[in-house]
Chain A
Amino acid sequence: MSQIQERGSTHVYKVNRISKEEIDSMAELCVYEQPPFCNAACPLKLDTRAFLKAAAAGDFKKALQLYEKIAPFPLILSRGCEAPCEAKCRLCELGDGVAIRAVEAAVARFGQQSKLGGIFRTKKKKNVAILGSGLFPLFLAGELEKKAYPITVFCEQEDLAAFLRCEAGFLDEEAFALELKRLKGKDIQFVFSCEFTRGFLEEKRGAFDVLCASESVAKRLFPEAAPVPELMYYEEEKLVSGPARGVMEAAFGAKKAALTVDRLAQNLDPRNTRGQEGPVGSRLYTDLSEAKELRRISGSGADYTPEEAAAEAGRCIQCHCEECLKSCAYLQHYKKHPGLLAREIYNNTQIIMGDHQLNKPMNACSLCGQCSVVCPNGFDMAHVCHLARQNMVSTDKMPLAPHEFALLDMLFSNNEAFLCRPQPGFERCRYVFFPGCQAAAIAPDTVRAAYEDLCARLEGGVALLLGCCGAIGDWAGRCEMEQQTREFLDRELAKLGDPIVIAGCPSCRKELSTHEGLRITGIWDVLLEIGLPAGGHGLDRPAALHDSCGARGEKQTQAAIRAIAAQLGCELVDTPYSGDRAPCCGYGGLAAYANREVAAEMTEKCLERSDAPYISYCMACRDRFARQGRESRHILELVYGTDAGDPPDISEKRKNRLALKYALQRELWGEEAMEKKLDYPLAFTPEARQMMDERMILTEDVIAVIEDFRESGEAIRDEDGLLVARRRVGNATFWVKFACEGEGFLIHRAWSHRMKVVKREG
């Protein structure tokens, strides 16, 4: 019995296989968190997407809340803004960009103002004075009021209406009245009819912590001085002010100035920690095919009605990138975009003590590489998860449990079930057929038919190699096991005279291509070259062709399979995500072993593309689709007119491999096959069979327990009279509940656990 060493729990830090820099530069590729273009262009950073979404849904209250975050006086800003966002709207490329400003104006007018008055908030200790009038002082007062500073505005006007009139003369009466009401509602002190002189300023300097002024007041008082425009600050004069012409510049200036006030009030350098200010670029990718309405809603009047504004907002396609999430069931399951997931998975590999909460996601990716094709930036999550697994193994932190069954299966394929023989009558061969472990496990008759056909029709001898290519070791991140398999196979191939490998499976082909100096082709290419054998035929109804993830990037393979299907008379239906964009069936990357739930979702995702029967060219795909109840055939079954029938359970998959090997040994090579036979009857209830398949318990595990019982007589008798025996096999203890029936046994139940249990003294 092959065994794999379980890891210890005391972690020895060995080889780190990934670096933070590498992960960071990979994560950078993902543009999911990049801002949409409209928002990137907005100097005030309105969350345009959320704003338009709320407006489109008719939720003007929420929309206004979002808008008020950047606009203390929404009616003024929305009527005067130059709207740089609109020019950058992606819809401009197809038709009209979204009329964002007009929607803002409607929201400002019709949106219900949130009640949040400033009066009852605890005020900051430091106070601020603003001298002058105009848009900049108004907006600055609004920004500082939001930040809860006690503010006093000193102006030349004699009352509030006059003050507001001079700033926003462009408002109509209704808008003016609304904004005046808003201004009155704010917690801002006003001192009217002031006359600004240097003396006035110096007097205020004594009473206030920070002084601000409109540009014209600052210029009048300090005609020689010049502000630092990024800070809106006269450094020498210690006066917050700067250029602010036009509505947008005033609003942006007020934002910068408010930050400067904030820093000054805390006695901090206003230059530091300001973050991103102003318009930025964006690398966001957007699938523009989602755009439906390309023409701007033309309003009935000068301004939009609420309905018109909602309709216009509804034209926004909510720019965001989720190409990978749309197509990958794994990413959908974890609801995370790869940039984030990659960082989290990397962090997981660096934990020395504590829970590795990302083990599951790391092991659930099928390593299929679909993301690398559908992502506009080629983000390859497979590479991240693969490296992370290798890293966990090399630092001795990888649990064995998720992959042990598959790894033992690989060892089984290359030990008990292994067969490597030259074609009868040859010592060295020009070719060797390598069907792959899953083909022998799932469709042994098809493997045999293919081998006999190749032997009959190819010159120079065709050897047969039944075994595993090593992909399982690779997928598990176990480089050493993969390397051992590679060396083992190379030795066997050398014995055959280093023949050209004819792979029966695209994943084997991919894995074997990593062998140095190995020449490899696919059986599909060979069949196209020598012609299909007689007797094959396609399905009698249209079918969907599922491309194997092992053939991603292999245009020739994909084309060859289609050509074979056409020659067989198959009618293929079009499916989304075919060719290089095909999703994985759930077997890849050992997802099916490490995370059945996610793997099942992957299978579903494959099948939801079509209701038709599925034709595939990887036996694992064939198997998983059939298990899901879909009519599913491997292309070689159609070529050879075989039918592998219902999908085998895990024990049958082993039995099939052994049976094929023994039959071929006897019938082709005239060898005596050493088939093990039980010398007592062993039967299973259907319930036991199903239970074993679900719990990954093999018939041979049950046999091991029964043999142990036959030898030792150790068992317990249960309430219901059944016997229960157990045996430790490798890293697990198997329990079997059974009835003795004469010489034989009827198995009722089986379970296992990995913990060891021992009696304790005392």
Chain B
Amino acid sequence: MAAEKNYYTIDPQGKLSCVKCGVPLIKGKAKFMYLDNGFPVELPVCPVCGFVYVPEELALGKVASVERALEDK
């Protein structure tokens, strides 16, 4: 199978941690879904509980612009 393309990658570089599990977040596989479309991404994820973090810049930048584009499809 061809390697899946990631639309966006953020590496937490050990700067973020999961409060509940007490471990640092790592770069992990996640997926954005909207209006029946899915986008594979790599985001900070808790390796234990699976908490996926969407930083403010990402939410207001890339995510918002893709939302607008999909809404007008």
Contact = CB atoms under 8 A, between A and B. Distances in A.
B30 A756 contact: no
A762 B33 CA distance: 18
Contacts of A357: 72
Contact of A759 (B18, B45, B73): B45
A758 B43 CA distance: 10
B35 interface: yes
Interface size class of A (residues with CB under 8 A): 35 or more
A760 B59 contact: no
A153 B2 CA distance: 73
Contact of B49 (A360, A714, A737): A714
A717 interface: yes
B51 A716 contact: yes
Most buried by A among B53, B59, B70: B59
Most buried by A among B46, B63, B71: B71
A603 to B, nearest CB: 23
B16 A717 contact: yes
Interface in B44-68: 44-46, 49-54, 56, 59-60, 63-64, 66-68
Most buried by B among A724, A737, A761: A724
B29 A759 contact: yes
B73 A751 contact: no
Contacts of B63: 753, 755
A10 interface: yes
B44 A716 contact: yes
Interface string A273-299: 000000000000000000000000000
A719 interface: yes
Nearest to A401: B71
Contacts of B34: 754-756
Interface stretch (A1-9, A111-119, A666-674): A1-9
B67 A401 contact: yes
A356 to B, nearest CB: 5
Contacts of B46: 716
A223 B37 CA distance: 78
Contacts of A759: 28-31, 45, 50, 52
Contacts of B68: 401
Nearest to A719: B15
A713 B29 contact: no
A689 interface: no
B67 A356 contact: no
Interface in A372-404: 399, 401-402
19 contacts: A7-B35, A8-B36, A9-B35, A9-B36, A355-B69, A355-B73, A356-B73, A359-B72, A399-B71, A399-B72, A716-B18, A716-B25, A724-B53, A733-B54, A749-B56, A753-B64, A757-B43, A758-B31, A761-B29
Given A715-B19, A723-B19, A759-B30, 7 more contacts: A6-B35, A8-B35, A9-B36, A9-B70, A716-B18, A753-B64, A755-B34
